[in-house]
Amino acid sequence: MTLGVDVGGTFTDLTVWDGRRLHVGKTSSTVDQSEGVVDGARELLGDQRVETFLHGTTVATNALLERRGARTALVTDAGFDDLIEIGRQDRPSLYDSFVDRAVPLVGRDGRFEVATPDRGGADHPQHDDRAADGDATDGDTTDGDTTDAAAVDRLVSELRSYGAETVAICLLYGYRDPSREQELAERLRVELGVPVCCSHAVSGEFREYERISTTVLNAYLTPVVERYLRNLQQRAAGAGLPDRVEVMRSSGGLMSVEAACDLPAAVLLSGPAGGVVASAELGRELGLDHLVSFDMGGTSTDVCRIDGGRPEVAYERDVDGLPCRLPSVAVHTVGAGGGSIGWVDEGGALRVGPQSAGAHPGPACYGRGGHAATVTDANLVLGRLDPDGELAGSVALDLDAARQAVEALGERVGLDVTDTALGMLRIAEEHMARAIRVVSVEEGADPREAALVSFGGAGGMHATALARNLEMDGVVVPPFAGVFSAFGLLLSPRRTDRALSTEVDLDDPEGLAGLARQVADEAQAELLGEASADASDVEVEVRLDVRYLGQAHETPVPYTSGDDAVTIAERFHAAHRRRNGFARPEDPIEVVTIRAEATLPPALTWDQLPAVEPVGEARRGERRVVTADGPVTAQVWWRPALGPGDRVEGPAVIEEREATTYLGPDEVAEVHPSGALRLTW
């Protein structure tokens, strides 16, 4: 038996695969996530025991957004301690003079320099590294020499005085020669007794600013994430759950607790990744090559493009304005969820989000003391939610409280209750539509070719409006939609990611193949070191970061051993044209980084799921639903009672324990053999 638990800002989702069928549950998230995780698991499992515990968490994300990380010290080469603040020349908002860059996680008083060893001359083996690094630095500093012992003694004394709880070491060429970083780390761990993160181990790639930022992020989050995961292990063991927990990593695979404690920056997008993986698997089952996953929860909405069964993966992204150079599914998040709060700005305009009511007190309709009008309150007022029902099977809804909250908001903008609720939904949906454009149009992909995979407790109530606005190729509402990210944990492989930034001669295919084997072997060895598995079960994919000579950004392309320069160039030009709208086949190219991802089979595959068996009565009566064109009478259906081939015509509301789907007057839902709903118009 395998347990998957995904924690969101409002609800904690749970799934259990017992080898024959899937069991699902949902509970309110708690301030200490481990408390809700364990309590929800015990409630779902009863007396049953599980062998494997898979977990998606937002602990790292929340700690970063709320700036609750550890007191971190940064150690770098002399003259480079301010690089973390100087950053790049690009601005977060080009024409807004009031927008500032994110404040570094380490202030000036927490940055420490170590004396640079003697510089090598022109014949030194690392003399040309700066040109390869592509950064605005000069000279020929070498990291391979031993740091002066007296300098290290002074550094230890300074770090003690600063009160460092964790240390990030990022030397200029640590990615090329880690020996000096390793030497410093060993000494500091012994002398200070605190976690020490080295840049070569966190993000062993060129570009020192991004490497420093990622290493500092990792160090900043290490004590928080380790404390949470160790606490979760203890709670789990005390409740009869496995203390061997596997954690979802941002790139769409699982890692051990020990690996997550060492590399917490790799779990910054742990929560959304599960749903993206599940969407890709469902797309394969349905034979759909182009998808956009749409995960609307209580606090936010996450979207990601999926092409050819593979989620778009970014090898660098900004998280709250801070660069993180680790692979992650290319999720774009906006603060528009069921708990997003409606408010009025200084100009008197109605706004929605990004502030959220969360789980406590939650929307006004939860009856937990919340008074602000939220998207969930608006949906309840308009009739999309059942006023006599229970959200997620456990939260009773208070229609009067919802109406009062929406009415109070409407009085501030001169609108009645109905128009205020409709306005809130329209604003929230525009935020979400903009997010879909970011992962499609702005990435050179046409959303009209993609279907929208809608999940999360609130996703189905807004999916058709979004898809029609963007002229998308229909909507898919998967089975287990309300807990789809937790279900995705069961479908996720154990995974490791490795990268090597080095000079590559494309005219030497054997040399390139040797470097690719080296990176692939390292990824496989790391994976087998974490998991008890046979090497024959490991699958390794290699990709190359390629760019035009002198270009400042790269485009990843797949690589197979034996590929020659012509094949690599053709793939790159095609990928560059898709992404940027043009290619320059006559220009020379270069490979700057070799990447490998190693995976093991997941706990569950889609074809292992049993056939859909309808249970109960499908028709549940009718309900008045208010639309922008006026009120309509919507038929109410119970989704677990619908079988393959069943067809529902709108206006209709399709309910299940963990989610609700709304169909407009000219929209149709048909049940696919997989259990997914195909929505068309």
Predicted pLDDT at 28: 85
Q: How far is CA 597 from CA 481, 525, 594, 641, in A?
A: 28, 11, 11, 41
Q: What is the DSSP string of 57-94?
A: --HHHHHHHTT----EEEEEETT-TTHHHH--S--SST
Does 665 have pLDDT greater than 50? yes
Does 375 have pLDDT greater than 60? yes
Average pLDDT value for residue range 374-381 = 97
Domain at 495-601: CATH architecture: 2-Layer Sandwich (3.30)
Does 86 have pLDDT greater than 80? yes
Does 141 have pLDDT greater than 60? no
Say how many C-beta atoms besides its own lie within 10 A of residue 320's C-beta: 13
CA distance 155 to 167: 12
Average pLDDT value for residue range 343-356 = 93
Does 143 have pLDDT greater than 50? no
Predicted pLDDT at 101: 85
E strands, 45-180, in order: 52-56, 72-77, 111-114, 166-170
Which has more pLDDT, 150 or 677? 677
Predicted pLDDT at 137: 37
Name residues whose C-beta falls within 8 Å of residue 239's C-beta, 6 or more positions apart in sequence: 38, 41, 42
Give the pLDDT band (50/70/90) at residue 118: low
Predicted pLDDT at 550: 87
Predicted pLDDT at 148: 76
Predicted pLDDT at 119: 47
For the segment 33-64, what is each residue's pLDDT rounded down to a tens digit?
999 999 999 999 988 889 999 999 989 998 99
Does 126 have pLDDT greater than 50? no
Lowest average pLDDT, out of 42-46, 113-117, 263-267, 489-493, goes to 113-117
Give the pLDDT band (50/70/90) at residue 147: low
CB 374 within 8 A of CB 357: yes
For the segment 158-213, what is each residue's pLDDT rounded down to a tens digit?
999 999 999 999 999 999 999 999 999 999 999 999 999 999 999 999 999 999 99
Name residues whose C-beta falls within 8 Å of residue 219's C-beta, 6 or more positions apart in sequence: 70, 72, 166, 167, 168, 195, 196, 197
Lowest average pLDDT, out of 106-110, 549-553, 573-577, goes to 549-553
Question: What average pLDDT is seen over the chain?
Answer: 91
Select from 561, 560, 589, 562 the least CA-distant residue to 574.
589
Share of the chain above pLDDT 70, in %: 95
Does 614 have pLDDT greater than 70? yes
Which has more pLDDT, 574 or 243? 574
Domain ranges of the chain: 69-220, 495-601, 619-680
CA distance 2 to 375: 34
Average pLDDT value for residue range 311-320 = 90
Task: Burial-class residue 96 by CB neighbours within 10 Å (0-12, 13-18, 19+).
Answer: exposed
Give the pLDDT band (50/70/90) at residue 140: very low
Which has more pLDDT, 336 or 140? 336
Predicted pLDDT at 136: 38
